[in-house]
Amino acid sequence: MSAYRPLTAASLIDYLASHIPLKERLGGNAADWTAREVSDGNLNTVFIVSGPAGSLCCKQSLPYVRVDPTWAMPLERTLFEARWMQSVSAAVGHQIPALYHLDEGLFLIVMENLDTHHVLRGALIQGTAPAGFGARIGEFVGHAAWATSWRALPFEDVHALRDIFSRNLALTRITVDLVLTDPYRRDCQRNRWISPEMDDPVAELQDDIALHAAVERLQERFLSVDQALLHGDLHTGSVMISGDDVRVIDGEFAVFGPIGFDLGMFIANLVMNAYAQPDHDEWMRDEIALLWSSFQHAYQEREENTDTRGDVGSLRAKKAEGRAGSSPWAAERSRFMHQVMHDLAGFAGLEMIRRTIGFAQIADYDAAGDRPSQIEARRRALATGRRLILKAGRIDTVASLLDHV
Amino acid sequence: MSAYRPLTAASLIDYLASHIPLKERLGGNAADWTAREVSDGNLNTVFIVSGPAGSLCCKQSLPYVRVDPTWAMPLERTLFEARWMQSVSAAVGHQIPALYHLDEGLFLIVMENLDTHHVLRGALIQGTAPAGFGARIGEFVGHAAWATSWRALPFEDVHALRDIFSRNLALTRITVDLVLTDPYRRDCQRNRWISPEMDDPVAELQDDIALHAAVERLQERFLSVDQALLHGDLHTGSVMISGDDVRVIDGEFAVFGPIGFDLGMFIANLVMNAYAQPDHDEWMRDEIALLWSSFQHAYQEREENTDTRGDVGSLRAKKAEGRAGSSPWAAERSRFMHQVMHDLAGFAGLEMIRRTIGFAQIADYDAAGDRPSQIEARRRALATGRRLILKAGRIDTVASLLDHV
């Protein structure tokens, strides 16, 4: 463990040269290596270091938000990202990058460099994302959610895991403020939008008490319903894609919460992309339907084929009982999946609104073409977001969800 | 802090004599004091020490279950009881005993001795409990639940509080096993009942897959829905009463969970008392109605008159908004209270069943008179428990609850 200092390309190369397993992955010696800064997200510094034998992705926390150095931010977020990778890797396999090294003093992660992969958001905007990635994301959430839930683990293990991420306060605070609160407050300086055509729909959101009451219900579910370990920031910029190899990255927001949060956030980003690029509408709907069916299948497959059970579900005798199609267990599972869909719809609505008028907006809108088209895409996102939040409790199925977008 | 040793009457007196503030509460000197063991619950040793100026209640953990020395049990449960007292005392005032002293090495609590009080369960059985105690219990739960919730505290404070009680593993394991699981398992040696008239209804419970699916839902809610800090074992043996002074004791099972758990457990014990002593039926119904209205009133009163808010509810502008009778906030509160009632009904059902055929049964049944009457009371409890668990999701109001008991 080293004392903290922000790394430069040069000091990072020195660091890697002194760690034999990392040095061997790069091959040769430090003089043969190149380091390239590729920081793309809002928060951290990222370098790709390449050598004769391979390359590494190195991610370090800064003591502030990278895109806003006046916003101080505890360094420990990298530790939570590493703990998230360690917590889900057995369940999700190669759907996340391999973690090679964690330096808890430098707040530095060294991991697999996905050099043939592209950020999904960019691939969507450019129209180069191959069809079918929704299935991989659905599987990812199904496997990670099952493996960290009360259905898979004795409650003692869930408590221990939850306590780790309960301390992820700085990034959970960002979610609570930026996603669950700010966009609905008139006086919040972190909101912004391209006026004046947006003024009216924004004012309507901020004056709509019925909407605020529905948002409060989602605040309560996000904070108090601990179904499983969430990724916590699963938008299309947190996914890397290369053909049918789909990887989820950037788990620094990980915290326990309702499973529908991750699913809803991801789906919201697909919907917003299709609003900005209307010719994407059909495949967007296909990917969403695929994502939901894959999530259900992955979750149920684990439930039906796992011999060890957690404390929830301990009364089910054996694997076979989970399989009987018409049993009370099937009815209970259906109820559970409806509840996940309610959450999915509500959190998708929150994500659409905050990515349109909140602090961290999305690049997809810039692909909408001329200014009237961009405004139209944003207005649609606000209207759909509001509708999803208000009607979440009545959206039971993916067909109903797609009717509302 | 002292090294652990089980205290006797004599060694406890020596200990108290060496702690000036405790000595002063007793008055005089050790030679003037008497120590009397009054261990009554299943788990711990309790002494009352009396002196010229006053008396003290001293509770120490044993390394096993007091009523079953073959059942090992970590000592730390006394620490969780003390932390529970510290966590709720500001909110509930004199509704718990005053905590004078905690020795984390001896696992010893020294607290106010409630010498004019009686255990509520005994007073109910003897018919000496004054009417109206339900209001005090409803207030207690309302105040404690509000003060430890996401509606009252920033989420960072709730996480810190929750993490403390997340480690209360040994006693939460007892709840998960004895309340939420064992009674529904045919092969569980900890179940027992006065056969043979009970054999059939017990077998029906243990074969009823629809019931088990409904129990699973309650397992999930108990473990994954963290609305507030619970007492965790709020039966009529955890309440001391003297006139209209009602105190809640024995918070060693404290853990975060759904508010309806505490309410349901308490109400179940009133219902079982009235089944054993049918002339108690009318006042039992009165106390339950009073308890529920007092809980709602206490919770709402805090919500409406607290200026500081937690992260849930942060969009409500000011106190006044919580008060408007027909606003979306009122609808949201109504939905919240219905959900608490669903939980209350389900957990009441679990408590009735486990107190009738599980490991820790209740003395009330012995007051039913002859054996056929005792059996009839127990069979009614099993039938009502099952009905409440199966119908919990449709029980919205206290009137509906009373229709089902």
pLDDT in tens, chain B (405 residues): 679 999 999 999 999 999 999 999 999 999 999 999 998 767 789 999 999 999 999 999 988 887 788 888 889 999 999 999 999 999 999 999 999 999 999 999 999 999 899 999 999 999 999 999 999 999 999 999 999 999 999 999 999 999 999 999 999 999 999 999 999 999 899 999 877 889 999 999 999 999 999 999 999 999 999 999 999 999 999 999 999 999 999 999 999 999 999 999 999 999 999 999 999 999 999 999 999 999 999 999 998 888 768 999 899 865 555 455 568 988 999 999 999 999 999 999 999 999 999 999 999 999 999 999 999 999 999 999 999 999 999 999 999 999 999
Output the pLDDT for position A316: 86
Q: Can you read off the two tokens belonging to residue B160?
A: 């810190």
For the residues A129-155, what does the mean pLDDT come to? 97
Q: What is the DSSP string of A155-197?
A: HHHHHHHHHHHHT-HHHHHHIIIIITTGGG-TT-TT----TTT
A323 pLDDT higher than 70: no
d(CA A383, CA A349): 9
Q: Give the SS3 label for residue A255.
A: strand
Judging contacts by C-beta atoms under 8 Å, the chain B residues touching residue A176 are 155, 311
Q: What is the DSSP string of B223-283?
A: HHB--EEE-S--SGGGEEEETTEEEE--GGG-EEE-THHHHHHHHHHHHHHHHHSGGGHHH
Judging contacts by C-beta atoms under 8 Å, the chain A residues touching residue B163 are 163, 166-167
Q: Sort B370 into a burial class: Cβ within 10 Å, 0-12 / 13-18 / 19+.
A: exposed
How far is A365 from chain B, CA to nearest CA, in Å? Answer: 28
Nearest Cβ partner for A159 among B169, B215, B220: B169
Q: How far, in Å, are B97, B130, B202 from residue B117 at the CA level?
A: 11, 12, 37
Please write the tens of the pLDDT for every residue from B268-306: 999 999 999 999 999 999 999 999 999 999 999 998 888
Q: Phi then psi for B260, rounded to 5 degrees?
A: -60, -15
Please write the tens of the pLDDT for every residue from B16-38: 999 999 999 999 999 999 999 99
Judging contacts by C-beta atoms under 8 Å, the chain B residues touching residue A212 are 315-316, 328
Q: Phi then psi for B310, rounded to 5 degrees?
A: -85, -165
Output the pLDDT for position B1: 66
Q: Phi then psi for A69, rounded to 5 degrees?
A: -60, -10
**Cα B250 from chain centroid?**
8
User: What part of B 133-152 touches A (C-beta under 8 Å)?
Assistant: 150-151
Ranges of H-type helices in A308-370: 319-323, 328-357
Contact B155 A173 (CB under 8 A): yes
User: What part of B 259-318 touches A (C-beta under 8 Å)?
Assistant: 311-316
Contact B176 A328 (CB under 8 A): no
Closest CA to B125 of B405, B368, B352, B378: B368
Nearest Cβ partner for B216 among A156, A213, A313: A313
Q: Give the SS3 label for residue A37.
A: strand
Q: Give the SS3 label for residue A268.
A: helix
Nearest Cβ partner for A311 among B214, B219, B313: B219
Output the pLDDT for position B321: 53
Give me the total of CB pairs closer than 8 Å, taking one residue from chain A and one from chain B: 123
pTM beyond 0.90? yes
Output the pLDDT for position A44: 87
d(CA A122, CA A245): 16
List, in sequence order, every residue forming a beta bridge with B36; answer none if it has no partner: B48
B167 reaches A (C-beta below 8 A): yes
Neighbours of B318 (CB within 10 A): 9
d(CA A7, CA B34): 69
Q: Look up residue A11 and give its DSSP letter.
A: H
Q: Sort A76 into a burial class: Cβ within 10 Å, 0-12 / 13-18 / 19+.
A: middle
Nearest residue of B to residue A165, measured between CA atoms:
B159
Question: Residue A6: is the preceding peptide bond cis (ω within 30°)?
Answer: no
**Which fold would CATH assign to domain B9-112?**
Phosphorylase Kinase; domain 1 (3.30.200)
* Domain ranges within chain A, ordered by starting residue: 9-112, 118-404
Residue B130 contacts residue B248 (beta carbons within 8 Å): no
Please write the tens of the pLDDT for every residue from A159-175: 999 999 999 999 999 99
Closest CA to B252 of B234, B265, B240, B267: B234
Cα three-residue angle A174-A179-A183, rounded to 5 degrees: 115
Nearest residue of A to residue B218, measured between CA atoms:
A312
| ipTM for the assembly | 0.94
Closest CA to B229 of B79, B77, B87: B87
d(CA A38, CA A55): 13
- Which of A165, A207, A212, A217 to mutate: most B Cβ within 10 Å? A212
For the residues A89-99, what does the mean pLDDT come to? 96
Read off the pLDDT band of A324 (50, 70, 90): low
Read off the pLDDT band of A101 (50, 70, 90): very high
List, in sequence order, every residue forming a beta bridge with A350; answer none if it has no partner: none
A200 pLDDT higher than 60: yes
B155 reaches A (C-beta below 8 A): yes
Output the pLDDT for position B305: 85
| pLDDT cut 90: percent of chain A above it | 86
Contact A226 B227 (CB under 8 A): no
d(CA B163, CA B161): 5
Output the pLDDT for position B362: 95
H-run or E-run covering B36: strand B34-37
Output the pLDDT for position A256: 98
Contact A219 B328 (CB under 8 A): no
Q: Strand A68-72 and strand A99-103: pairing?
A: unpaired
Question: Residue A208: what residue type?
Answer: D
Cα three-residue angle B260-B262-B264, rounded to 5 degrees: 60
Judging contacts by C-beta atoms under 8 Å, the chain A residues touching residue B216 are 312-313, 315-316, 332
Could you tell me the maximum CA-CA distance found in chain B, to the nearest angstrom?
66
CATH superfamily, domain at B118-404: Aminoglycoside phosphotransferase (APH), C-terminal lobe (3.90.1200.10)
A115 reaches B (C-beta below 8 A): no
Q: Can you read off the two tokens belonging to residue B282?
A: 């009318």
Contact A312 B227 (CB under 8 A): no
- The conformational region for residue B27 under phi > 0 = left, psi -120 to 50 = alpha, else beta, is left
Q: Strand B255-257 and strand A34-37: pairing?
A: unpaired
